[in-house]
Structures are given as structure tokens and as C-alpha cells.
Structure 1
Amino acid sequence: MIDLSRLRSLRAVATHGSITGAAASLGYTPSAVSQQIAKLEREVGAQLLDRQAGRVELTSAAWLLAEAAEEVLAVLERTRSRLEEQREQPTGRLVLAAFPTACRGFVATALAGLADRHPALDCRLLETDPNRAMSQVVRGEADMAIVHDWHNTPLTVPGSLLKADLGEDIADVLLPQGHPLAGRNRLSPADLRGQRWISQGPGAMCHEWLMRSFAEFTGQDGEPDIAYQVEEYESQVALLAAGLGVAMLPRLGRGALPPSVRVLPMRPAPTRRVSAVWRSQADRRPAVRAALGALRQCWPGQ
């Protein structure tokens, strides 16, 4: 009998291309993953990894097992959903992946409510960006993800996932109180030409959205000058309070701002759509249904 936890380790190595990447996705140490693979090799009587010059390659036997693991784990998930349906209550473990402002804005409240209403449900949270969160759901490392996309920066949802919109989040321009534009009632992208921006760096969805927004309304000559590449919104606010630039921040999870920071609406108003995604084979699972209901109930403004 092949051990399922060892199959999961092998599938993670196949997905991430390395022992280190597999360990990070599973929450194990690299040594633990290596041990799992070694035990699996003894179980099946075949070499699964070819280690050369610091690189790891899967053998043909390993790829065969990794493909089988996908099928077996999908069947097990459907079976788990049916078992939960028979119990008529959410049980087991539910792993939710969400981006930081969602965690602050409404996910924490939703998880607390789930814990109170369904004590047999063990909820776990992974804070990560939308692209990675969706990949974690596809790979089975998370059961559900909270993701977002902007009107001009759509997020492609794989066909194996289902999606439900939770609400829309508006972004505003933030600038220091003494900024020359701070006295305006509203701003347009054209008003913000030549400003020094505080934003996330390349690769982040918010960075891509900012670049596209200004190219859309001002042309390539109006591309924003991102002088400060900062991931955390709290750090961006600290730079704003110090008078070091301007930023565009969503309202969800923004929190209280210092008096030295001015908030102005943008016209047209930038909006992002916040959604939940989960695997289609888990759609009937009561835990997924309960989590979706809690997230909808706790969306700001509900």
C-alpha cells in the first residue's frame, strides 16, 4: 500500500521542481521531504529522483506516480465531500489562502465566526498574493483562496476552479497633507504626472495595475515613476506620512491613517473585484459552503 503523505511529497516536488520548493509549500523541512521520497522509493522499488550537480530531476517512474497522485487525491477529495454531506455539518480541516488586506479587512472576522458556529471545523490561514493563492488551491495546498483583480488587470481562473464574487473595493490617492495637490476634491491620472510614487514592485498585481492605469489614461509618456518599491501597505503609509511620495491604496483593510496623510478620490474611480475560488470537486463540501457563507456575511458593508 502506497502512503498518501509520501505521494503528496512527490507531487509537490514535481510541481515546484525542487525539494526546497516542495517543503515550503507543504510546511515541512527539506530533510523531511527527502525522507518521504526515500521511503516512497523503498515502497515502490524504484528510483524516483535523479540528483545531479545540485539539481533534482524526476525519473519516469516518479512522473507516473505523480500523475497517479493527482487522480487519487481528486477521488479522495470528492469522497471527503460526500462524507461531510452525510454528516450534514462542516468538519475536518479547511485551509484558506488570502491576500493581506483581505485578512485584515474581513477574513479574520469570518474565520472567528466559523470557529464559533462549527467547532468540528479546523480552519487554517495562509497569507499570500492572489496568483500564488490560486495556484495553492489548484495544487490542493489550500481549499479556498480569496483573490482580487482590477478592471484592466484580470486574473485568469483555471477551469478546474469555481469562483464567487464577494464585492468591489475602491482605491484612492493618498498623499502628504502638505502636498500641492492635497487641496483638491478629486484627482485624475493626468493630475499625477511627474509624481514620485510609492507602490509594490514588479510582479505584484497592484504594480501591474498602476502601470496599466497610467498608460491607459496618459499614454506611455505618463508612466508613473515608482521611486519607492514597498510591499506592505503599512510601510507605504509610513513613507506617505514622511512626505516622500504619493500612493494609490484600496480601502479594504486600510485602517486608520495618520493626520499627515490626505485621501482623495480618483476619477475614474479604480475598483478591484474580490472573489473566492475553490476546486470544483469540493463544491458540495459543507466546509466550503460554510466558509463561503461566512466570507459573504463579513464582507464590509454587509
Structure 2
Amino acid sequence: MLDLDRLRALHAVATHGSVSAAAEALHVTTSAVSQQLAKLERETAHKLLERNGRGVKLTDAAKLLVMHADRILSLVERAEADLEAHRGVVVGELSLGAFPTAIRGLVPAALRDLRARHPDLRVLVTEHDPFVSAPLVARGDLDLAIVQDWNNEPLSVPEGLVKGMICEDLADVAVPAGHPLAGRDEIDLKELAGDCWISSPPGTICCDWLTHTLRTFDSEPRLHHTAYEISSQLALVAAGLGDCILPRLGRDPLPEGVAVIRLRRPLSRRIYAVWREEAARRPAICAALDALRASARSVLSDEE
């Protein structure tokens, strides 16, 4: 009979690309993964890994086994979720990934609520861009992720994930206080298309969205400065170095030298949670979604 832990080790190597990466994902030593794979080779009477330069590659037999392991591990996760749902108790560990403003604007109140209602649930939070966190959920490295997309550019999520709405967040534009349009109540974004811009680094969802949006105005974006944190972007705006898109969720007090202008055609981003279909019935995921939505309702009512 095939051993589940050994199948999981092989599946992790296939998913993460190397024995060392699989060991890191499984929170064990490289030696432990190698031992599990050696036992699986003896158990199946097939060679599963071959040398490929400095790394390894899966044999045809291993690829066949991984295909079955994927289905087996999904069924195991579904069974575990069903058992948790049957017990109806919110316990255990839940790994949550979120982008910076969601961590600042939604997560603290949600975690405080979860701790009060479900003291036996341990939530572990890490910061990730949605382009990173959604695949991590699909791979099983995260249980739940908070992701975002914009009203003019939807985010596709990997197959096998479920997406649930948390809230919608409006965005304004921040410009230096000395900007010619700083005194306006509202503007069209295309009026700023030729300006210098400050955004998160290329390859992140906000930067890619801003680039795409500005190009619709027949303007090649001038992204002169990049920073992950909104507070850092605003410091650069205050220094007169460019404009930035400023979501309302998790917004800190503005530094001196920054003017915020509403957009005549509102820009909004939709904030979702994503989780694996197999884990949908886990009480911990249901409780986390309830807490995140309650936090969003509170934040949005404060903004109004």
C-alpha cells in the first residue's frame, strides 16, 4: 500500500521543483524528504528521480504517480475538511496571505474577532502580492489569501480555487501639493496620464494595472519610482516626485505636501478571499471569511 507521507514528499518535489524546496515547503529536512523518496522507490519498484545537472527531474513513473497523488491528496484534504465541518469546531491552524493594505486595513480587526470567538484557532499571516498568494493557495502553501483586482482588469485565479467577495474599495489619486490640479475637487485620470508616477514594482498587480490603465489613454507610463508600501509612495509624492493611486482601505494620515483628488470616473478594486475547493467546508475558513467581511463593513462605514 502506498504511504501517504511518501506520496506527499514526491508531490512536493514535483510542485516546488527540487528536493530542498520541497523540504522547505513541508517544514522538514532535505534528508527527510530524500529518505521518503527512497522508501517510495523501493515500495513501487520504480526509479522516481534522475539527475538533471545540479538538480533532479521526475521520471515517467514519477509523473504518473504524481498525477494520482494530486487526486489522492485532494481527496484527503476534502475528507479532513468534512470531518472538521462535522465536528463544527473552529480549531487548528490557518495560514493567511494578504497584500499590504489588506493586512493594515482588514486583518487586525478580523484576527482580534477570531481570537475572541475561537481561541483554539491559530492564524498565521504573511504578506504577499495577489500574483503570488493565489498560486500559493493552489499549491497548498497557504490556506486562504486575500487578493484584489480592479474594475477594469479582473484577476484570474488558478483552477481549483474558490473566490468569495469581501468588499469593494474606492481609490483616489495623490499628487504633490504644488501640482497644477491639486485644488480640484475631482478630475479624470487621463488628465494626469503624462505625469511621473510612483507605484509598486513591476510584476505586482497594482503596477501592472496602472501601466495597462494609463496606456488606454495613449500614454506610455512614466514610472520613475517604485515602492511596495503606500506610506513610502506618499513620502515620494510629498517630495514632489510624482503621483500615485491611493486606495481608501488602510489609508494612513497623509503627510504634508500631498493633495488627494477624487476621480470623476471612480476607480474601484474588488477584494476577495480565495481558498481551495477541497477545503471549502472547513469551519476555520468559514469563520475567517465572516471575520474579514465584518471588518470590511466596519472600515467602509467609518470611511462614509
TM-score scaled by structure 2? Answer: 0.88
Unaligned runs of 5+ in 1: none
Give the structure 1 partner of residue 253 of structure 2: 256
Q: Which amino acid letter does the alignment assign opposite residue 257 of structure 2?
A: S
Moved more, 43-52 or 27-36: 27-36
Matches of 1:130 and 1:95, distance apart in 2: 15
Pair 1:21–1:131, CA change in 2 (3 A): farther
Pair 1:20–1:252, CA change in 2 (3 A): farther
Matches of 1:230 and 1:210, distance apart in 2: 14
TM-score scaled by structure 1? Answer: 0.89
Pair 1:177–1:112, CA change in 2 (3 A): same
Give the structure 2 partner of residue 201 of structure 1: 201
Give the structure 1 partner of residue 136 of structure 2: 136
User: Which aligned pairs between 1:16-165 and structure 2 lie closer than 5 A?
Assistant: 16-19=16-19, 21-23=21-23, 25-26=25-26, 33-34=33-34, 36-38=36-38, 40-165=40-165
Q: CA deviation at 1:176?
A: 1.9
Moved more, 172-181 or 95-104: 172-181
The answer to whether the 8 A contact 2:94-2:124 is kept is: yes
The answer to whether the 8 A contact 1:94-1:122 is kept is: yes
Give the structure 2 partner of residue 298 of structure 1: 295
Q: CA deviation at 1:45?
A: 4.6
The answer to whether the 8 A contact 1:153-1:205 is kept is: no
The answer to whether the 8 A contact 1:162-1:280 is kept is: yes
Q: CA deviation at 1:266?
A: 1.7
User: SS state of the match for residue 97, structure 1?
Assistant: strand
Give the structure 2 partner of residue 276 of structure 1: 273
Q: Which amino acid letter does the alignment assign opposite residue 208 of structure 1?
A: D
The answer to whether the 8 A contact 2:135-2:158 is kept is: no
| Number of equivalences | 299
Q: CA deviation at 1:12?
A: 2.5
Q: CA deviation at 1:77?
A: 1.5
Matches of 2:140 and 2:280, distance apart in 1: 14
Unaligned runs of 5+ in 2: none
Q: CA deviation at 1:19?
A: 3.8
Q: Which amino acid letter does the alignment assign opposite residue 220 of structure 2?
A: E
Pair 1:127–1:9, CA change in 2 (3 A): farther
Pair 1:272–1:42, CA change in 2 (3 A): same
TM-superposition CA deviations, 1:21-44 (whole Å, max 9, x none): 445544566666555544544554
Moved more, 206-215 or 37-46: 37-46
Pair 1:19–1:266, CA change in 2 (3 A): farther
Moved more, 178-187 or 256-265: 178-187
TM-superposition CA deviations, 1:193-217 (whole Å, max 9, x none): 321111123221111211222223x
Q: Which amino acid letter does the alignment assign opposite residue 50 of structure 2?
A: D
User: SS state of the match for residue 164, structure 2?
Assistant: strand
User: SS state of the match for residue 248, structure 1?
Assistant: strand
Give the structure 1 partner of residue 9 of structure 2: 9
